[in-house]
Amino acid sequence: MVTQQENELMTRIGPGTAASTLLRRYWHPICPTSELSDDRPKKKVRILGEELLLFRDGKGRVGLIPEQCPHRRASLFYGFVEDDGIRCPYHGWKFDTARICIEQPFEPANSPLKSDVCPSDYVVEKLAGLYWAYMGPKPAPLLPRWEALVGIEGQRRIQVVPLINANWLQVMENSVDTTHTHYLHAHMSVMLGMKERGSYHGRPLEAYDFEVVKDDVWSGIRKIRVWGGKDGERELGHPLIFPHILLAPQQEHIVMHFRVPVDDTHTQVFRVQYTPGTDTKDMDWDNPPVDYFPPLKHANGEYDLRTFTGQDAMAWETEGPIVDRTKELLGVSDRGITLYRKMLNEQIAAVQAGKEPLGLIRDPAKNRQITVKVSEGQARMARKMKQAV
Ligand code: FES
Ligand SMILES: [Fe+2]
């Protein structure tokens, strides 16, 4: 049973909160790199309760800085990008990509005011066609080079899901909710006339288990399923990678779902889909294709339940903006959720005590390409279905 206070601790992610302090120790994708161009070198980014501006100066350097100008708080999104920085549209103060104030027109040349501007401490990197942000203390850990991000033996796509109107923890708890796939995905798909889409998760689930992993390069929770029926198998499991990633096989693809906490009641999901073993023809590794998913609801406001994404979004959002966990009735099938909450609380406490949380990588030798094994059942079934066509 979760108390109101515990619920607040895990879900509130604005600056200065305990959960935010933990989540800032990890890298988060913020947008596809194609969203910054010569014509549009600026993008507003809302993450962990902060309004930021991502911009690229005329020399190609990229910065992530507070959106509001430190002078009189106008938005720098409307500023002028120049070779060495961005100039505020209001009175022309200019900042470089680290937010060092490099010009203050109309102030005396010897004014000490420039040094009163706090530089931005946020780090931006580019990988797999995405910009990534690190907002924690320095030195930053390495940006993990997951196989889905750096593998070059297949095809890669980026998928941007519409903004989810729910707290980040609801989205993450779903990643360790082993049994939801039976009704929410399989049964729902069958009921909507999409029998094939429900065939994998609709098999009889004879047993399930969870394994807490604290590995060198990743920590989290593996879900293990034992399927009965004609295509019975013990599934190795697709893991939740602590704190905010789901790694899931989907048909012949390996898909990493990155759940980015935007603010207390919104979550942005970026997915990277890697299809190993396929033709690499026409693959531009620096600029993989980007799919923007269509709206999750119909024009009448009801959820479009024909996709797994729409089905999940319905469940996450209808729980409420921040689910009231004091009113839950958890059963034995929810053990993955309690394990994840335990891990989250332990890591929040570790960071509060000045320790390093789980899953940060600092050794480049361990970060060349990180492969986490997942179930092959889905790929096998997808191949079979293709052969049958
Ligand atoms: S508000 Fe930006 S320069 Fe004045
Ligand atoms: Fe789901």
Which carries the bigger pLDDT value, residue 115 or residue 65? 65
Grouping H, G, I as helix, E, B as strand and the rest as coil, residue 254 is: strand
Instruction: State the CATH architecture for 29-134.
Output: 3-layer Sandwich (2.102)
Using CA atoms, how far apart are residues 44 and 183, in angstroms rounded to an integer?
38
Q: Which of 318, 338, 319 is nearest to 330 (CA)?
A: 338
Q: What is the pairing mode between strands 101-103 and 94-95?
A: antiparallel
Nearest CA to ligand 1 atom 4: 91
pLDDT value of position 201: 86
Which carries the bigger pLDDT value, residue 285 or residue 388? 285
Average pLDDT over residues 285-300: 97
Q: Which atom of ligand 1 is nearest to the CA of 72?
A: 1
326 — phi, psi (to 5°)?
-70, -15
pLDDT value of position 232: 84
Q: Which ranges in the chain are annotated with CATH 2.102.10.10?
A: 29-134
Which ligand has the nearest atom to the CA of 103? 1
Does ligand 1 lie within 6 Å of residue 91's CB atom? yes
User: 147-388: what CATH class?
Assistant: alpha beta
Using CA atoms, how far apart are residues 162 and 267, in angstroms rounded to an integer?
9
Indicate whether 364 pLDDT > 90.
Answer: yes
Rounded to the nearest angstrom, the distance between the alpha carbon of 117 and the centre of ligand 2 is: 45
Rounded to the nearest angstrom, the distance between the alpha carbon of 142 and the centre of ligand 2 is: 29
Q: Which of 103, 111, 49 is nearest to 79 (CA)?
A: 103
Is the separation of the CB atoms in 260 and 47 below 8 Å? Answer: yes
Least confident of 47-51, 276-280, 356-360: 276-280
pLDDT value of position 124: 98
Q: Which ranges in the chain are annotated with CATH 3.90.380?
A: 147-388
292 — phi, psi (to 5°)?
-100, 115
Least confident of 81-85, 182-186, 277-281: 277-281
Rounded to the nearest angstrom, the distance between the alpha carbon of 171 and the centre of ligand 2 is: 9
Average pLDDT over residues 48-54: 98
Rounded to the nearest angstrom, the distance between the alpha carbon of 324 and the centre of ligand 2 is: 20
DSSP assignments along 189-214, one per residue? HHHTT-TGGGTTTTS-EEEEEEEEEE
Is the separation of the CB atoms in 309 and 297 below 8 Å? Answer: no
Per-chain mean pLDDT for the chain: 95
pLDDT value of position 198: 83
Indicate whether 389 pLDDT > 70.
Answer: no
**How many CB atoms neighbour CB 300 within 10 A?**
5
Which carries the bigger pLDDT value, residue 237 or residue 136? 136
Least confident of 30-39, 60-69, 274-283, 349-358: 274-283
Using CA atoms, how far apart are residues 9 and 253, in angstroms rounded to an integer?
35
Q: The tokens of 99 are what?
A: 């937010």
